[in-house]
Amino acid sequence: MNRVFVLMARDPDTGCATAAAAVVGIAPGQAGCVSWVPYQDLGEGWRARLAATTVSLEEALASWAERADGVASDVVELEAPPSPDLRGAVEAALDEILAMGRP
């Protein structure tokens, strides 16, 4: 079962974690996948966190969600779009976010 999350970063306009930086997907027995919101520099903190992760992506996401404060960062789980594979679900979720005009 695919699980899809949005990594939210601090938006300088609102001062809160309201800007989507990336969409992350996880599924049992598969490597996670990440798709970054294009043309944004808001994801640097998330890039560093992902690079420094020493636990599974599922554990990392759970820990980040637990510690998210809605100001500096946030992790939001979405209903995974229907897709035959994890990459497709992640890309479909990112497409939906971009279509709403809310990166």
The residues spanned by each domain of the chain are 3-99
Place of tokens 């510690």: 67
Place of tokens 């939001």: 76
Phi–psi pair at 7, nearest 5 degrees: -90, 115
Alpha helices in the chain, H assignment, sequence order: 44-52, 57-67, 86-99
Sign of the CA dihedral running 39, 40, 41, 46: negative
The amino acid sitting at 73 is S
Whether the CB-CB separation of 26 and 32 falls below 8 Å is answered with: yes
Q: pTM (2 decimals)?
A: 0.89
The model's pLDDT over 39-52, given as tens digits with 9 standing for 90+, comes to 877 778 898 999 99
pLDDT-above-70 percentage for the chain:
98
